[in-house]
Every structure is written in structure tokens, then in C-alpha cells.
Structure 1
């Protein structure tokens, strides 16, 4: 191949130097391409596996492969190998299966033609496909069955069908191995006797009764590395011969038979088995002898071995019988086995026991102590021996037991505590059974009624009930119904209800509510007032009529819901107010204060200016004052001028948010002055109570009086605060001393809090300190605004 390559290179250089001699070069190319290149590749190689540098080995330049139309041609197998035109490498393109290409042929090659044009050249390439061990040995059958008689002698041979391997050479050289067993070995073909077949050799005699079937595994391995294996299951069935006697389950059978057994009564069934199969294992039975003579008394079924009574038995005549039985198989020659049946005749138990029950103590109170005697029981049996021995028992799972006091005498006593509420009565069955075979028995029933005692207190479904009642209810209104359950019976279960009396403030509980003794219905005796009593908490007692009576209590919480039944109340103020005319818009000049005894929305107050004085005077023009919707503060809407009347009379409507709303009106008198004195406001009681306007004093006098009053009030407040702090006991809050007085909580400019009162005894439960409430609505006022309003109120 190297010589061909050199010649090709020489011709290629001649082609470059003598381009004009095309015909000569074409002839040289044909002569050069007549050589053959050989490669080798293993079968089952992966796609892209390198085979050879075909372009280099053919003496072709890589740059010429594409222009000269380099290509491979193969008859029917062109897709197995391919050439990379970029590097001129021949590689595996698809799966190559040597067995599919060449079968079991020793040589296997792919013949390729390499064709290039310009000038035309043809090269022959042969690629040898090497065998790999990719095929395991295969048996033609998945399992092989052999039938061998148990009479076969050792060293007998039994041919087997071997395996085949699709590979060649060492990969197809097979060896065999047999699974471990005690009966067979494997005989293999040898190089000395290649015609000798694969076979099994019997090592020791077979016994079908011991081993009726053998399962062996035959494994074939080839000579590859690593070796591949194949297996076949060998099933050896052992054929039977008559080499076993029939054998009985027992050599002796012992039976006890009552003397009153009737004809055809089953006595016993003997059973003999033959380990052989087929007719060799079919058994028949026959009677050999009966001692003492009495063959007519028993029969034996020859097919199933059943022995039955065939006459009348007499215990006094014969107490025992001995029967010889033979079992014979149907083999040739037949084989037999024997057994003996011993039959003991027993005295008949034909009298049942008798039971007598006396001295009953019923009904039985449920508090009866255990071991208390309830009844006396005696039993008797006319039979003798074991047939006359009687034992007694009572129904299981009852709180009673039998105590033997003397032979055949018993006491029925209480075994555990009774509970009538769980089980009100018991059916006790006393059973007397003798010792006969089969035993005879008799029964006697005792019905025990459990009498009730008062051992259960009435019980409410829950320890606390909560109900809601609107205030101003009608007297005698039904609030709720309480019910207590007593599991006792009759008088012990009759429940009556009563109030647990106590004081509610200054009044007795029974002045507010009552409870019906029999039905447990609770009634309100008078209209309830939310402002006086928000929560009425009390207990109701339930007592049964037992002796002694038992009882329990339940707590009832009655929440009184508020209704809008209180109109706003105005707080008293001064007689008049001075307002400087120099004030601009937005200045607070007075404030109307009101409270509402209700709570929640019913106590949320709003203010409205009904009759602005300036509006009437100006003929409907905008007045100089307005009132805050939720604060009650009267402020200027514009700067005051000379056209405003010197005396301003304002009518303010105060309204709550109840349904329907309740209102009150207040009259505020304002005097417009030229100086800058601080104004003093006054809100009067409801309209109609306003007096005649007072005369205005000198401006300087008012100023001096106001300054002195404010200073004195400040000093007095400081002294009172210091005295209270020093005198208050430890742990007592500042608000504890004021629990009995109405406390006013006023709203801010945008109405974030309602004006309501905190009253003593709003929640009356008889326990703990009084409770207070404060309803909040859209809090959103800053501390700065509240402090400004507070300052304004003090100065007013």
C-alpha cells in the first residue's frame, strides 16, 4: 500500500506540472486506483467510531474531496460507514451487526467503492467486521421435561438438547453447568467423542414417594470475555411403581360409644393411605374379626372406611369390642396394611338436671353492697357417676355470680356495684350441666329489677348561659328557659328550679327576675334600664325531689341592650359672652356642652345652629357665627364689622344618633364689644328657661375679674392635686375615687369621641368593681387640637 501511495503522489505531481496531458493522467489515475485498502472495526461500534483516515491513505488532499465529488458506494450497505469530508476520516454511521451481515461465517467484511471525479478515480476499500461477544447462548425451549421411572438404576443416561450461540470462535464455545442436586450429574461432549450428546446421568435411585418431581437449572456459558450465559429449566417427573403398603393413620383406634346409639350411628372412620399413585395407591377396607363375637353389630364401608352401628348395643352385656380392619391396594401384586379399633360402650345419659330457685330478694336497690345474697338455688340429677355430677354457671357479663354453699347448693350473690341509670334490669340465666357425654343441661331464669336511689344530681347542659334583652321591656317578659337533666327515675328525677337570692345594688335579685319552679322559664319582673344596669348576672339552682335532694347551679348572664330613651342634657354655663369686634374668621368664642345618658350611637351627639342672629338681621345673609358639628364650639365664620348687631342670640340644636333621634336646644347670648377682652360663653338649659339678658359691665372690671378667677382656680387645682396624691393609698388609680360621679368625655372638632356618662353600678353581677364603657367613633384628632380645645374651655 505504501508503494501505491508513492506512485499516486508521483502521478499527482505530474498532474500539476503537466496539465496539458489530461488523457495520460486519467490513465495513470485508473491504474493507481486499482489497489485495495483494508480496515477493521468491531461490530456494534457506536456512531462516530473511527475506522481509518481514508483520504490520507488514498493519497487525496482534503481540499480536493468536495471539488472532486468524493463519495462512497456500497451495495445495500452504504449507510453503515460514512466519510467526514472535512477531515477525510472514515467513521461508523449506523449499527453494524456481524451476525446479521454474515451469519456464522468465519470471515465478514464490507466492500466499499471510493469514487472521485475530475479526473475519475475508483478505489476499493475492504472493512473487516470483527466479532464481539454480544450474543448469549440460547436454548430452543424455555423448559425441558423428562419422565423417569423410580425403578431406573443408577448410571442411567437421559439425553438433553444443548444451546446455540450466534457468535463465532471462542465467543461461541459453550460450557454447561447443572444446579446442585443429589440425584443427577451432567455428562458433557468431549474432544475425544465430539458426537457424544449432552445428557443427565442418574447418581442414585429415585423414590417417587419422597421426591415426586425435581426442578433443575441447566446453565450454558460461552467463551467470551466477559462470558454470556443462558439457562433452561429442567423438570424431572418420577413415575410410580407399587412399592409401598397401605398405612393407617393410627395402628389402634379407641372409640367411646353410648349404649343408646341407634342403627346406622357413625362410630369412627379409619383412614389408610398408600404413597404410591394411580391404581397402586387405591385402597379398599374389610373387617377381619370382631371380638367378642358380634359381627352383626358393626359394618365397615369398603370404600371410605366408615364404621357404623348395625344392631342394638347393651352396656350390661359387653362394655368393650375389638375390631380388626385390613386395607388392601390394587397393585399387582396387591399389598395390605392392618389396624385395631377399640370400642368402649358408655352408660347413656338420659336424665337432665333439675333446678330449683328459692328466697328471691327483689327488686334490688342500686346501692346494694357487693356479696349480698339475692337467691338460693339447688340442683339435682337422677343419673349416676359422671352423668349425675352437675356443675352450675350464670350468664356471662352480668354483675352476679354463683357461690357454692354445699354439694348441689348455690347462692346467687351480687358481684359488683349496680347503676340503674346504665342498666335498669338484668336477665340472669342459671345453667346446670351434668358430666355426661354428650352432657345434658337445664336452665332457670331470674329477672332482677334494679330499684333507683337518688345518686345523680340534676345537670345543666353548660355551666353558663348568656342572653340579651332590650331595655324598657314589658314586665313579665320571658327571657329564656333553663333545663337540667336528672338520669334518676320518678321522684328522684323530678327537678324544680329556683333563684339563688342575692343583692343587686340596693335591691334584691328577686325584684328583677323570677324563675318558674317546674318549667325553668326565666321572666323579667320589671322594665330593665341599660343606663342603670348593663349586665345582670345571677345563678339558678336545680334540685331534685329525692331524699336527700341533690342539686346544681347554672350562671345566667343577662345583657341589657341600650335603646335611645334619653335626650341630650345640656350642662349649665355662664350668663353671657363678650366678643371683640376685632376677631377674624375661625376664632372660637363659646362652646355648648351636652351629655347623653345612653351609650353607643344613641349617645353620639351632633350640634346644629338653628337661628343665626345675624342671618335674620341681614335678611338671609351669611351669619358671622357657626357651631362645630360634633364639638359644640361656636366660632366666627368671617371678620366682624360694624354692621353686625351688638347683641347676638344663637339657638343651638343638640341631637343624638338614635332611632328615632332625640334633641335638646340651647340659647347662647353674645355681646360684641370694641375692646379685646376674652369672651365668656354661656349655654342655657332647654329653650324656655333662658332669663332676661344681663347688663354689660365695664370692660376693665371684667378683665380683672377674669384674671383673678383663672389664677385662683389654677392655684386651687394644684393644691388639691398634691393633697390627693399624698392621701391616696398605694395601688389605687386616680380614676377610682370618681367612680360614683358622672364623668364627661367630650368630642374633638371632628367628632372622634362621643359624649357619654360613666355610671356606678352599670354592671351588676354582685362580684368585682363596677364596669364602665366608652364608645369610640372614627378617632382621628391630634393631641394638639385636643389641647387647644381644652385650653379654650378653661378660659371660657
Structure 2
């Protein structure tokens, strides 16, 4: 009877059930097919999917596969149409030998859920093997004294086929002396014999050549032939005769060497030498001549090797008894030796379709593996039973003869036991019983209930700028408490935009190692802080993950040389030309070299020194170490060369230091000639009168400009007072947050538009580019702060070191240009005795004690007040201009005022 198990929601219509039952009727739970041997590749065997009740669409999803223990490549299933077809040549004789039954056992396995079907494919014999004689030529020695009707057995042919295809019919070529007698003994020894029809006459016919043909019963018929050479002998006319033409003997397969099988006895009616017999082995089928020996004198047949029931169950031995007559006569007999089985083979256990590891939430009766057992012995020696290690939550369930399933018997708990070492024991029914074991380690898989965890939620990384592309800057690592795939962590970037570019264009993270690489050289001047997140996700289903924040600070390197700012009258070759009256005294400021550095900190801290100059043994000019002001060191006299060339070297404090060179051409003129020379150099006039008119024009323009700026400042101050609160809220991005307005130790501030946009966008921390230019101190500084300033100013020879965090931004260079003009005008100088180093200071974005005392939203009014005060001092600057004879500085002052207003407009 067929047994079916309903799985899922798949049901079969009644008609299909009847067809399936009819197909499986003779299989006792198997699906049975029949095909002829030697079928071509692709030969149809059966619609196996339809016969098993499986839908074609579920063959691939359910991992439909066919396995065969014998020959797995002979048959194959087309997963598109569910047809079982011949995959390679099937030779029945090679597969089963001369066995009457020959079939291929297929094991059909489908998953989700796991089902196992057993299919038997019978291989039918076809007539593909012709009869074959053991020898191409058989020689017969027949005495002329033989009487008619004498029988002469011949060596028959063999056919590898079975059944009707192996039934042989013999034919003898036409002759007058012999006829062919068909076989008369058992099926194992179908041997033809020659019958003498009339007395031989050696003198008339000494030899006969006959052709014996064997034809099998197949369709079409196949034949085999052998030449019979018959020699007619004289005198010895009696053949040896055995007691039986056929002997049957049984012997155990474990029989020892020299074990006696049988003692043969033959008799000869002749006397003397013609009656003395010698025994010999003519042939052993199947080939096994080395397994037996025959004593030629007494006819004892003994075991000479190791017999194996599993290799051959029956041996056909042909024995000859030859007398010593002249010519000798021969008698024939056949000994059939049947090998009896002993329990000499242990069972074999095979585990297939292992479903490991087993999830700890797996349900009972879940199939873990398929077990197949086999034993080469027969009978009770080949009957195998299986058992399992006790006290484990698993059991073995029999599914078919010698086929079992290892299934889950109870629930699992990975936290209690993570691995089970199971031992499957297979034992046969022989005596003594033999057994075999196979071990399998069943690991309990964990469910994904733990997300990867980083050691800390945020990492701070410092990377120098100008790193090589692909440089490793950091390694993130997360731990997952789960096991196997659930603990396999992979890393990825949390993509976002950094300015106009994607984060992935800056950095990448290796998915397995967690190494973070910089894809391109980082530029401190472009990007000071790169803040991003790295995600760690495990490989569980569903995957769990967590993020960690990386703050990558780009450290500045000295990769920008100082840049000179244009100033004054530029002559040939880019040199700056200045006119100096010979009447000036010591400490007179001639001009100022202006330079900026795009780096920050000490890399942007510039120093100036005179590299080369002319004008005698001792040059009358010097340059301020940190201000760049070129001033006289002594009073000029007549011996000084009228043209002085100064080569000023501008150097930053980086490692290594980068430099720039400025050439200053100083022309010494007499006191009354200075305006004329100046006018000639500038090209505005050629006479003292034209110079005086030009100065008056400058004075009128200065007064008008200062008055206009005063009115604009008052209007701007009124507007800011009315809209101060909304502007603060808008700039800070939230209500109630004051706008950060910072003043330095040396005066008012300037804020670049580019930096303000970057701070508000939140991409990076605000860069500290607030610069102070005015020497006046805010009145709201504390007493301690003013005392500190006074203390510093009391030591003019010691320059105040800059905060390492300050830098020059591109947007402030114009403002710095203007501030330098103020210094030239004397605003930032301590006095004629020497320049007092005024360092640009910064209010950092990080709150601190110093920044709190100087930065607040209320300082806006104070800063505007100081700015208005500086504007009101413009007439004083004009007065200084006439005393110093420096008309170009008035233009610089106006330019600075317009720049301050522009910065105020941008920031507000």
C-alpha cells in the first residue's frame, strides 16, 4: 500500500490520486518505472513529478533533487517539466551482472518541508551481447574405435544477457559424421555435444573441420561461432567417465585455504596406461582459477584463496579426466560451487541532507538529517537496525526499509546546551552481531537578538591635511553578542552631503575590517572638521545595527607660502617704490610690507626681515619683525645713496618655513622736492602748484566722505537697535539664542561672509577668523582684563604670542589690507620708539572663561559705538596726513571704512 503525507495546503484531485495509486501499486511505497538498457540520452522514463503529486512550479523552490546510491549520473530529472530521463548510457550487465533482477534505486528529496520518495527504475535487458565461446578453436581427439551415437561434449558459449536473450541454440555445419545434440542438463551448464553418426575411418578422414554456431533467442538474433578441429585417433577407444556429469557443492565464504571442496572420481574401462587418469581444471567461471586447486592424481578440489560471497555467489568449474593412452582419452564433468554467506560485513551508515545548525526556536519533529544504512551480507546478516545516543532531544524515525530520519524530539535551549554530539549506531542481525557508528555534531543556532555595540558612542580623530589618497585614518570596531552570521558585523557609511559633495567622496569604510580611509587629500583651509556616522549591521535576518559618530579634525600643515598684498606705487619688476624726504628722523615709517598666509596657527604667524639692501655699509632702514613696517633707523644724511633697494623676506613659523620676498625701492629726495617727485611718479601733476591743488582735492573729498559715513552710521545704528532681537534669533537658528559678537583684546572685529554661511549650515565647527584691528579697548572689559592689557603694553619689546587657533580667511584679507593701512597711519603703533606688536586674536567657538568675558549679544552696541568713534577721528587722520606728507593713506582709511560697513551689512 502507498502511504502519503499531506503537507501545507497542496491537495490532489481524486483522479490524480487514482492514477498515482495505480503507478505505485507494485512498489510497496515506491514509484516503479521500467526502461530498456542502452537507452539513448534523453530517453523518457516517466513523469516523476506528476506521479509523486508535486506541482511543476514548486520543484525549484523546494530544491527538488534526485540521489542514487548506485549510479547517480544515469538518470536525471528535467525541473521544467518534471520528466525523468536517461542521462547517460546504462549497461545492465555492468550494473547488475547476470542477476535476474536489475533496478536503480532513486531517492527523491524535496525541501520546505522535507519529503523523501523512493523510486525503483527497472532496467530491462535487451539483446546487446552476442554469444561468446571461450576459445576461438576447440580441438577434439576421437578414436576411430568409437561407436556410432557416441557423445563428445563441447565447450558451450556464454551470453552476458539474461532470459530469452541468453537462451542459446547451437547449429553445426553440414557433415556426414557428426550431428549436434542439444543440451540436456541443467540451466547452469547448457553444453552442446557432438553425436557420432557413423564409424570413423582414420585412413579415409583423419581430420574434420567443423563450424559450431550459437544463436541467442533475442530479437534480432545474435550469433557466435567456434571452429571445431576433430582429429581421429586410433586404438584407445574408451573414455574416462565421471560418476556424475555435474556435481553441486556448498561452502562457506570464510573457508580457510586448503579446505577440501570435493573429491572427484572418474573411471576408464581400458587397461594399463590407457586406464590411468590425470585430473585437470579446464575452466572456472567466473574467472577465479586462482581460488581453487585440483590434485591431478586423486581428484581433490581444494580452496586456494579467499572466497567472497558479496563478489561471486556461484562458481562453475569444468574438470577434465585424461587417460595415459595413445592417444589419450578425456572425460568431462562440471562442479558447481555455491558460496554461503557469513556475517563478515559491518553495516554502513550514511548521513545526507544535514540541516545544520538547528535554530533554538525550531519546532519538534523538524527533520535534521536523513540516514541510510546498508549491509552487503544477505539474510539475517544483512538486516540492520538503528539506534541513537540516549538522553538527547532527538530521535530516529524509520521512513522506509533501511532509511531513517533524524528529527527533533523536544525543544532546544542554546543558552543551556549549544552543541549536541550524537552517535548513530547501526547493528545487523548476524551472530555475532556487527555494528557501525557515525557521529554528528548538532550545533544550536542562536536567533538574532543582539545588535552590534561600539565601545563608545563617539570617536575623535586627528588627521593631518594633505594626506595621501586612500590613507587609513581610523578603525571602528563593534562587538555582537550573537553567534555565527548573527555576529558577523559589516560596516558602512551613513551617507550625507558635506557642502556640495557627498560624504562618500571624502571617506570610505571597509565593510569587513571597519577601517576608515580618506579617499582624497584633506585640506585644512577647506574643511576643518568632518563629522559623520559609521553604521555597523550584523548579518542576521532581520539585521540589527547601531551607529557611531566620528569627528575627524583636519590638522593644519604649512602648505601655503605667505602671499604679498599689493600696495603703493608698483614699479618695474613688481617692486614697490616709495619717496622719502632726507629730512625725516629716526623711526619714520616709510612703508609697510603686507602679506597674508592661508594657513592657521603658527603656520600663519609671519615675520619680516631685511634680506638684502643698498645704501652704504649700514642701511638706514629696518623692518618690523612682526608688523612689516619699514622705518628709518637714523636720520638721513647726504652720504646716503639716493636710491635704496630693500629685499624683505616674509617667513612663516611652519616646519619647514615657507617664504616670500618683497622688493622695496626707496628714493631719497630733498624736503622741497618730495611733492614734486611724488607727483611725477604718480603722473598727476608736473609742478608744485598742481600738487597743492591735488592735496586740496583730497582734503575736500575726505571731509565729504567722513560726513557721509557719519550719517550712514547713525542710520545703520538706529536700524540695528530696532531689529536686534529678530536678527539674533535668525542668525542663531532658534529663539532666545543670542548672536555671538566677539571683540578681541585689541579692538573691533570683522567676520567673513563665507565663514558665517559654513557655521550656519552646520557642516563644520565655526572657524575662528574674527580679527581685531582697532587699538581701542571696549569699555565693558573687566578690571582684570584691562590690567592684563596694561601689563602687556608695559613690555613693548616682548611680542604677545598668538592663540594657536587663529588663522586668516580669504574673506578677511581685504579687511586686513585696510587694517594694515591704519597701522601705517600710526593708529596701531605704540610710538616712535618702536612698534608694539599687536597680535590678531580670536574668539573661539568653544565656550571658555576668556570668551565669555568678551563675547555676548550685548556687545553689538559697544562695537558700533567704537566704530562710530573711529569714523569721527577721520579729520584727525587727515591732520596726521598733512604732517606726515602721506596722501595715499587717506584713500586707505576710506577704503577701510567702506569695508567695515560692507562687513556689517553682510553679517546683519
Q: Tell me the TM-score range normalised by the shorter chain.
A: 0.3 to 0.5
Higher normalized helix content (fraction of residues): 2
- TM-score, normalised to structure 2, is 0.33
- TM-score, normalised to structure 1, is 0.37
Structure showing greater relative contact order (alpha-carbon pairs closer than 8 Å, 6 or more residues apart): 1
Larger Rg: 1
